[in-house]
Amino acid sequence: MLYDKARIFVQGGRGGDGCLSFRREAHVPRGGPDGGDGGHGGDVVLVCDDSLRDLQSFKRRAHYKAERGRHGEGALKQGREGEDLVVKVPPGTEVRLPDGTLHDLVVPGQRAVVARGGVGGRGNARFKSPTRQTPRFAERGLDGREDWIDLQLKLLADVGLVGLPNAGKSSLISVMTRAAPKIADYPFTTLEPNLGVLESPDRQLIVADIPGLIEGASQGAGLGHDFLAHVERCRLLVHVLDLAPVDGSDPVENHAVIERELRLHAERLARLPRILVLSKADLVPEEDAEAAAAAWRARLGPEVPVLVTSSATHAGIEALKTDLLRRVPVAPPAAIEELAAQESLAEHQVFRPAAGRSFAVEPLGEGAWRVTGAPVERLLARYDLENEEALLHVERRLKRMGVIRALEDAGFEPGDDVEIAGVVFELDPA
């Protein structure tokens, strides 16, 4: 069974705490603070690995957490940074984050950081100043980012076989390649895409048998969205059309149904080069098959080759293989080349967005206030508010950030209670 979807939980490692320490040596008076910084937590990184073919491993494990940073130590020893957690995914994996960010991993070795590790806290040596020569507080490390993320695999095939159920796609791929799909005389025999390799002396093509589409597939009818997603990366489509449908349906209408669903799903699919294959020629007289091929050539024009094939007798199979090898370009699609170039650049440049600086003040009643916002919540998470020096430092930081002024403008009085990130404390700024 092909596993092409997964939902996993990723968590960056927590940053290590800064160390509160003072130098203590014989014959060295006033050694001063020497607490080292904590190490940063590790990131969770997805890496495209060409040895994988589906997302089956994520069915057995759904939680991925990177290593935390080590705490700082005395003698200015900095804590070791946490190891990144590398998670391998197959080529063609799309990664969607809760904020809408989309990573498309198609080039082997391509990387995407999906959960940043937390920043390590600073040791007390970092807070020494001419007016504060013996700081008795240090920072705590911050938690890493954590999220549920969605993975979807879209097969990287050169050629996609599309058509209505029971059109003969599975039989066709079985005689063209060494694939061994399940073949039966009832619709929807194929329940997942099958891959095969078409070989020639100088190159190979990956051929995907896309399970039978039905009318309304672009709106999700049947398993439409799941199947159509695997067509998106193909470079050429082979539309397989049954010459003599057992249900008596009109081949012209059957062809229109599939083409309409492809166009509605993605405009790019409507522009992909096509080959029309009239299958099961062994079930109709030869002159009827040739007449049907001539009619389709006149209807579609010279841009769409029309071939008559039979998987039972292998008629037309060699001609189809030759045409596929000739029409599919050797060079990879431009989009993949661009992604490879971007990955090469990303190895040398890392861009990290600045932390937001917005906050809001709201009254909670007489002499009570609440301040919300990522910057102030992150500030309080870094310090032990039971430590008087740390609390004074937090008050000075809040003043520099403009929080004290915003509270005063809202009616705050010194000594009022202030709640930030669920912590209530009495604020009496000097």
Q: Residue 221 corresponds to which tokens in the numbers above?
A: 């009818």
Which residues share a beta bridge with 89?
A: 48
Q: Residue 210 corresponds to which tokens in the numbers above?
A: 């896309």
What secondary structure letter does DSSP report for 149? E
Split at pLDDT 50, 70, 90, the class of 21 is very high
Please tell me the distance from the alpha carbon of residue 316 to that of residue 290, in angstroms, as a whole number.
Answer: 12
The b/e string for 381-394 (b: 16+ C-beta within 10 A; e otherwise) is bbbbeeeebbbebb
Kind of pairing between the strands at 44-48 and 236-242: unpaired
CATH 3.40.640.10 fits 159-338, yes or no: no
Helix (H) or strand (E) run with residue 54 in it: none
Give one word for 12, left, alpha or beta, with left for phi > 0 and alpha for psi -120 to 50: beta
Q: pLDDT at position 345, please? A: 45
- Which comes out higher in pLDDT, residue 196 or 2? 196
Q: pLDDT at position 34, please? A: 93
- The answer to whether residue 120 scores a pLDDT higher than 90 is yes
Q: What is the pTM of this model?
A: 0.72
- 88 Cβ neighbours under 8 A, 6+ residues apart: 46, 47, 48, 49, 51, 52
Residues 376/377/380/382 CA torsion (nearest 10 deg): -110
Where in the chain are the domains?
A: 5-153, 159-338, 360-426
Please tell me the distance from the alpha carbon of residue 65 to that of residue 99, in angstroms, as a whole number.
Answer: 20
- Which comes out higher in pLDDT, residue 124 or 153? 124
Split at pLDDT 50, 70, 90, the class of 310 is very high
CA nearest 124: which of 336, 395, 389?
389
pLDDT in tens, 245-281: 877 788 888 888 888 888 887 787 888 899 999 998 9
* Fold type of domain 360-426: GMP Synthetase; Chain A, domain 3 (3.30.300)
- The answer to whether residue 184 scores a pLDDT higher than 60 is no
| 93-97, 226-230, 305-309, 321-325, range with the lowest pLDDT | 226-230
Q: pLDDT at position 336, please? A: 52
Q: pLDDT at position 219, please? A: 47
Q: What φ, ψ does residue 413 adopt, rounded to 5°?
A: -120, 140
The highest-confidence range among 50-54, 75-79, 358-362, by mean pLDDT, is: 75-79
| 31-40, 304-313, 317-326, 328-337, range with the lowest pLDDT | 328-337
- The answer to whether residue 343 scores a pLDDT higher than 60 is no
Q: Are 176 and 198 in contact (CB under 8 A)?
A: yes
Split at pLDDT 50, 70, 90, the class of 347 is very low
CA nearest 274: which of 247, 255, 248, 254?
255
- Which comes out higher in pLDDT, residue 337 or 23? 23
What secondary structure letter does DSSP report for 52? -
Q: Residue 119 corresponds to which tokens in the numbers above?
A: 């920043």
- Which comes out higher in pLDDT, residue 109 or 154? 109
Q: Which amino acid is at 123?
A: G
Q: Is the dihedral of CA 287, 293, 297, 302 positive or negative?
A: negative
Q: pLDDT at position 220, please? A: 46
| 16-30, 119-133, 140-154, range with the lowest pLDDT | 16-30
| 4-8, 68-72, 133-137, 166-170, range with the lowest pLDDT | 166-170
Q: What φ, ψ does residue 255 adopt, rounded to 5°?
A: -65, -45
CATH of 5-153, one of 3.40.50.300, 2.60.40.2310, 3.30.450.40, 2.70.210.12: 2.70.210.12
Q: Which amino acid is at 275?
A: I
Residues 169/173/179/180 CA torsion (nearest 10 deg): 40
CB atoms near residue 100 (< 10 Å):
6
What secondary structure letter does DSSP report for 19? P
Q: pLDDT at position 64, please? A: 97
- 9 Cβ neighbours under 8 A, 6+ residues apart: 62, 63, 64, 146, 147, 148, 149
What secondary structure letter does DSSP report for 168? S
Please tell me the distance from the alpha carbon of residue 331 to that of residue 269, in angstroms, as a whole number.
Answer: 19
- The answer to whether residue 13 scores a pLDDT higher than 60 is yes
**Within its chain, how far is the Cα of 196 from the centroid?**
26
What average pLDDT score do residues 327-350 get? Answer: 55
Q: Which amino acid is at 376?
A: V
Q: pLDDT at position 207, please? A: 85
Split at pLDDT 50, 70, 90, the class of 224 is very low
What average pLDDT is seen over the chain? 84
Q: In what order do the strands lie in the sheet with 111-115?
A: 85-89, 44-48, 111-115
- Asked if 159-338 and 360-426 have one fold, the answer is no
- Which comes out higher in pLDDT, residue 172 or 144? 144
CA nearest 316: which of 235, 259, 243?
243
Please tell me the distance from the alpha carbon of residue 187 to that of residue 57, in angstroms, as a whole number.
Answer: 30
Split at pLDDT 50, 70, 90, the class of 188 is very low
- Which comes out higher in pLDDT, residue 288 or 336? 288
Which residues share a beta bridge with 199?
A: 204
Please tell me the distance from the alpha carbon of residue 332 to that of residue 313, in angstroms, as a whole number.
Answer: 34
Residues constituting the chain: 430
